Structures are given as C-alpha cells and as structure tokens.
C-alpha cells in the first residue's frame, strides 16, 4: 500500500530552527510537495522536490532523498505565524497526490 | 500565479436539503480538478478526481450518488451534496491542475454545516 509518515506534532521556540521529517512508500514517484495549512484554511504551497537535494526558499528549505524515500522541511528563524500544520504529499506514478496526515507545529515564545 | 476560487466560502443548510459548491480556476484551464474533505484535526481526504468532459472518479467509500460532481468546462467544477446530513458537515476544498503543470492549486475551501 501507499504510505506517508510524518510526526503528529512538534514544538519549537520562536527564533529557532525546526526540521519536519517525512518518509514515504508509494507506487512510483513523481515529486514531493510540502504544504502549510493554518487552522480553518486551505493548504498553501511551500515547496516541490523531484530531484535529490536541497531546495531553499527564504526561511524554508526542503530536502529530498529518493533512494531513502525521505524528505524534510526545514524552517529557520521561526516566527509565531509559522504555527500551523505542515503536510507532506507525494505524487505517485498516476500523478495522484498521496497525503501525509500532517505535522502540527507549535511555536512557543 | 494560478488562482482557484470557491463559492460559497461557508454555508449552513438544513438536514435533507442539497448544497452546491462551485470551484473555478480563474486564470488557467484546469483539465483536472480534485475535491477533498477535511474533518477537524484531520488531514485532507480525497473524495474524487474529475477531468473535464468526463465522469468523476470517486475514492473508495465516497458515495457518488450523494456527492455529485460536474466538471462541465475547463474552468468550473461543482460538487453537490445531496440530502445532506449533519455528519456531512465538514470543510470541502477543491484543487485544480492544468495539463502543463505538476502542481495542484487549492481553492480557499467551503465550510459546510448541516443542522
């Protein structure tokens, strides 16, 4: 079956760095997405990785290792507004998005 | 960038009535649209995938006669919740993808409350 695992919840301090991990087992791979979702709102796109390596975009970076079925989202200089759920999603061989359950990130002052 | 709108953003209806939710791609042609449902504190659950001009493909466990999807044009898909029950109360989100792109663009969601 298809499976995406990410931690349920994480807590970090304002100004610090946090890494949210995602491992996946899917039938085929055509890219991995990270989305941010604030409570009561739709997800917003953060990053897309299809090749191995690190993609940096401002305070957010995303890493992918296809051989390990592993990705992480790195958030630097955390701000209170970063408190949200972070969803990992993988596009399988049929270009369907397979969603992880999301990681709720709590930022403390 | 690509923009997807949903209407209405929230709706309250009585049990037994039907509700239609619209999803529009405003600046691109959406060959594929997806409908998701999200219950509180849970992840997105794909309900169905619709391609323009063809019948929607429903995920296992989703009643196609209850959740009617119409993707009549390249910019509009509708989800009709028929004979709504309180357990249908949820956050319904659509997303759209065009043939040239890998990314799904999400609408802002519709919060449905059935009383």
**What does the pLDDT look like over A31-77, one tens digit per residue?**
999 999 998 888 988 999 999 999 998 999 999 999 999 999 999 99
How many of the other CB atoms lie within 10 Å of CB of A34?
Answer: 25
Q: How far does Cα B28 stand from its chain's mean position?
A: 17
Check pLDDT > 80 for residue A99.
yes
Q: Which pLDDT score, from 0 to 100, does residue B53 have?
A: 79
CA distance B35 to B51: 12
Contact A31, B102 (CB under 8 A): yes
Which three-class secondary structure state does DSSP give residue A23? strand
Query: Does B84 contact A at CB distance below 8 Å?
Result: no
Contact between chains at B102 and A91 (C-beta distance less than 8 A): yes
Query: Does B98 contact A at CB distance below 8 Å?
Result: no
CA distance B67 to B62: 8
Contact between chains at A42 and B46 (C-beta distance less than 8 A): no
Q: Which pLDDT score, from 0 to 100, does residue B103 have?
A: 76
Give φ, ψ of A56 to 5 degrees.
Answer: -110, 135
Q: Say which range, A66-75, A92-101, B70-79, B82-91, has the weakest mean pLDDT.
A: A92-101
Contact between chains at B93 and A42 (C-beta distance less than 8 A): yes
Which three-class secondary structure state does DSSP give residue B94? strand
Q: What is the pLDDT of residues B13-68, one digit of tens each?
A: 999 999 999 999 998 888 889 999 988 877 788 999 998 878 899 999 999 999 99
Using pLDDT thresholds of 50, 70 and 90, give the confidence band for residue B1.
low
> pLDDT higher for B100 or A103?
A103
Q: Which pLDDT score, from 0 to 100, does residue A63 have?
A: 98
Q: Which pLDDT score, from 0 to 100, does residue B102 have?
A: 67
Tokens of B102: 């890998």
Check pLDDT > 80 for residue B86.
yes
B19-36 burial, b for 16+ CB within 10 Å, e for fewer? bebbbbbeebebbbbbbb
Contact between chains at B91 and A97 (C-beta distance less than 8 A): no
SS3 content of chain B, % helix, strand, coil (to 5): 5, 50, 45
Distance from CA of A30 to the nearest CA of B (A): 9
CA distance B90 to B106: 16
Using pLDDT thresholds of 50, 70 and 90, give the confidence band for residue B100.
low
């Amino acid at each position: 079956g298809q499976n995406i695992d990410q931690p349920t919840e994480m807590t970090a301090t304002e100004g610090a760095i946090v890494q949210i991990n995602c491992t996946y087992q899917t039938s085929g791979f055509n890219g991995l997405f990270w989305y941010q979702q604030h409570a009561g709102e739709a997800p917003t796109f953060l990053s897309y990785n299809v090749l191995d390596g690190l993609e940096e975009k401002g305070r957010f970076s995303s890493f992918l290792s296809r051989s390990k079925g592993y990705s992480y989202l790195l958030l630097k200089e955390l701000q209170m507004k970063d408190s949200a759920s972070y969803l990992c999603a993988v596009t399988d061989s049929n270009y369907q998005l397979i969603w992880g359950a999301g990681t709720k990130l709590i930022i403390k002052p | 960038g690509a923009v997807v709108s949903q209407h209405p953003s929230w709706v309250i209806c009585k049990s037994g009535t039907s509700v239609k939710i619209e999803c529009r791609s405003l600046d691109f042609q959406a060959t594929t649209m997806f409908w998701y449902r999200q219950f509180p504190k849970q992840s997105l659950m794909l309900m169905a995938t619709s391609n323009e001009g063809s019948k929607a493909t429903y995920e296992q466990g989703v009643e196609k006669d209850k959740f009617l999807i119409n993707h009549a044009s390249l910019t509009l898909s509708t989800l009709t919740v028929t004979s709504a029950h309180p357990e249908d109360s949820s956050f319904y989100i659509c997303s759209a993808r065009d043939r040239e792109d890998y990314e799904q663009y999400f609408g802002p969601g519709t919060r449905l409350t059935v009383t």
